[in-house]
Amino acid sequence: MTAVQSFDVAILGAGLAGRLAAWLLVRSGARVALVERAGPDGAGSAAYVAAAMLAPLAESAIAERRIVDLGIASVDLWRAWLAELAESAEPVFFQQDGTLVVWHARDRAEMSLFTSRVRAVAPPELVAQRLRALDGKGVGEVEPALAGRFPQGLLLAGEGQLDNRGALRALLSCAVSEGVHCVWEAGEVDAGSLPQLGIHADVVLDCRGLGARRAWPAQPGQTAQHSQPGLRGLRGEVVRVHAPDVKLHRPVRLLHPRYPIYIAPKPNDLYVIGATELESEDDSPMSVRSALELLSAAHSLHPAFGEARVLELNVQRRPTRPDHLPAIRVDQRTRVVRVNGLYRHGFLIAPAVTEAACAVVGALLNGDPAAHAVPAALRWPGMIEAVTEAPAHTVGARSGTLH
């Protein structure tokens, strides 16, 4: 018979949100267990293949204002937290040198669409401070490798990026050194199966992403045929290449009506190349067409990508809610808190979202009504919901936003 250990919090899922939560909660004095269906490398998580760009202004072209605000807060948190992690783990690559946006002359209309969307969504003061138009000379001064290739560009100052896999390693290392108990290769688990793993927890924090799909019931539509999944996966495709002859110094976004891409330079001449998501639950390997589109667009940015070595062709599904916004659900009866729906914005918004989820967990541990115990600064509008979950293996939940 498995001996049972008691913890204040059991965290389900050791992706980005789970590792952040484990580190934050154990540092607050909680006894924490981290349970993951796979191994400690995080290879099955969306965070493992992400470009990890911290670009709230750039994302405002395709996202809502709440994502921008969460991203602004999270960039500040990343800067502070990575400095703290570096005291006990290998330093994680982090830079905040801005995002360069470029386009080919024939795609100038895409620039007008991009800037109009940014101005419509992002805080006006942020746009005024950070959005800087460049002529061809300015593009070359910002990125010498692109000198003479683009007659115009935009520099979004203050934006950044980090090393996704380095961050996952550092968070786990520091969490374990602080005393987090880890259970690896646990298979498919939920709150009800923790005793079988020898774990009893006062509060359960569910960070499983798409693994928690059954806990996020379908959203009703006008008819049964038009109901929306409470959580679905959106396919993302990312290529990693080694390109020592390119020499970019900051993330670059290439605007295009059909194949917009981003290129994030990492240490040791590695580049992460990706595009917008595909409305598909398919997680099969990348197609030849997708690979050609991504790599051809990269080659059009800089011809030296033609000699790059392809290291990885990655596919991952991002957990997405119907409104494309993150949510935290708390059932005070079962003492289960669920955080999900980070969508394509994982690294951009995870710190602020996870910090709020940990505040809810702390409120439960302290015996306080969760909504009133969460600091006002962490109560992002509509993100925290009180729910009464249906019994296991049934569908439906009653929910209401905590104000």
Per-position DSSP letters for 121-144, written without gaps between them? HS-HHHHHHHEEEEEHHHHHHH-G
Instruction: Among 124-138, 214-228, 292-306, 308-322, name the one with the lowest average pLDDT.
Output: 214-228
pLDDT at 300: 96
pLDDT at 374: 75
pLDDT at 214: 93
pLDDT at 386: 87
Alpha helices in 245-402 (DSSP H): 288-301, 346-365, 370-373
Would you say residue 340 has pLDDT above 50?
yes
pLDDT at 225: 57
What H or E segment, with its residue span, contains residue 18?
Answer: helix 16-27
Would you say residue 277 has pLDDT above 80?
no
Q: Which amino acid is at 351?
A: P
Pairing type for strands 261-266 and 270-275 reads antiparallel
| Topology given in CATH for the domain delimited by 5-48+165-226+323-401 | FAD/NAD(P)-binding domain (3.50.50)
Q: Which residue has the tokens 């600091």?
A: 375
> 99-157+232-320 belongs to which CATH class?
alpha beta
- What's the farthest any 2 CA atoms get from each other in the chain? 71
Q: Which amino acid is at 197?
A: L
Alpha helices in 35-88 (DSSP H): 56-59, 65-85
Tell me if residue 8 falls in helix, strand or coil.
Answer: strand
- Could you read off the pLDDT of 101-132 as tens digits, one per residue? 999 999 999 999 999 999 999 999 999 999 99
DSSP labels, 359-395: HHHHHHHTTS-HHHHS-GGG--TTTEEEEEEPPTT--
Tell me if residue 95 falls in helix, strand or coil.
Answer: strand
Residue 120 is encoded by which pair of tokens? 């419509």
Q: Which residue has the tokens 């484990």?
A: 22
For residues 95 and 158, give the distance between their C-alpha atoms in angstroms, rounded to a whole number.
9
Nearest partner of 314 among 232, 385, 235, 395, judged by Cα = 235
Q: Each residue of 279-298: b (16+ CB within 10 Å) or e?
A: eeeeeeebeeebbebbbebb
- Could you read off the pLDDT of 61-109 as tens digits, one per residue? 999 999 999 999 999 999 999 999 999 999 999 999 999 999 999 999 9
Would you say residue 311 has pLDDT above 70?
yes
What H or E segment, with its residue span, contains residue 338?
Answer: strand 336-340
pLDDT at 372: 58
Residue 133 is encoded by which pair of tokens? 């138009």
Q: Which residue has the tokens 């290449």?
A: 241
pLDDT at 228: 78
Would you say residue 279 has pLDDT above 80?
no
pLDDT at 1: 54
Q: In what order do the strands lie in the sheet with 53-54?
A: 53-54, 160-162, 94-95
- Could you read off the pLDDT of 343-385 as tens digits, one per residue? 999 999 999 999 999 999 999 999 876 565 677 777 788 899 8
Average pLDDT estimate for 385-391: 80
- Could you read off the pLDDT of 34-48 as tens digits, one per residue? 999 999 999 989 999
Would you say residue 394 has pLDDT above 60?
no
The DSSP 8-state label assigned to residue 112 in this structure reads H
Inter-residue contact 85 to 248 (CB < 8 Å): no
pLDDT at 391: 60
pLDDT band at 401 (very low <50, low <70, confident <90, very high): very low
Instruction: Among 150-159, 217-226, 296-305, 379-388, name the one with the lowest average pLDDT.
Output: 217-226
Indicate left, alpha or beta for 179 from its phi (over 0: left) and psi (-120 to 50: alpha). left
Per-chain mean pLDDT for the chain: 92
Pairing type for strands 5-12 and 32-35 reads parallel
- Could you read off the pLDDT of 139-198 as tens digits, one per residue? 999 999 999 999 999 999 999 999 999 999 999 999 999 999 999 999 999 999 999 999
- Could you read off the pLDDT of 262-271 as tens digits, one per residue? 999 999 999 9
Q: Is the pTM of this model over 0.85?
A: yes
pLDDT band at 227 (very low <50, low <70, confident <90, very high): low
pLDDT at 276: 66
The CA radius of gyration of the chain, in Å to the nearest whole number, is 21
Inter-residue contact 28 to 59 (CB < 8 Å): no
Number of residues in the chain: 403
Tell me if residue 399 falls in helix, strand or coil.
Answer: strand
pLDDT band at 221 (very low <50, low <70, confident <90, very high): low
For residues 272 and 51, give the distance between their C-alpha atoms in angstroms, rounded to a whole number.
6
- The helix, strand and coil proportions of the chain, stated in percent and rounded to the nearest 5, come to 40, 25, 35
Indicate left, alpha or beta for 213 from its phi (over 0: left) and psi (-120 to 50: alpha). alpha
Inter-residue contact 21 to 171 (CB < 8 Å): no
pLDDT at 381: 82
Average pLDDT estimate for 227-245: 92
pLDDT at 342: 96
Nearest partner of 232 among 322, 345, 315, 314, judged by Cα = 322
Domain boundaries, the chain: 5-48+165-226+323-401, 99-157+232-320
Residue 314's CB is within 10 A of a number of other CB atoms, namely 18
Percent of the chain with pLDDT over 70: 93
> What are phi and psi for residue 327, nearest 5 degrees?
-145, 150
Would you say residue 295 has pLDDT above 90?
yes
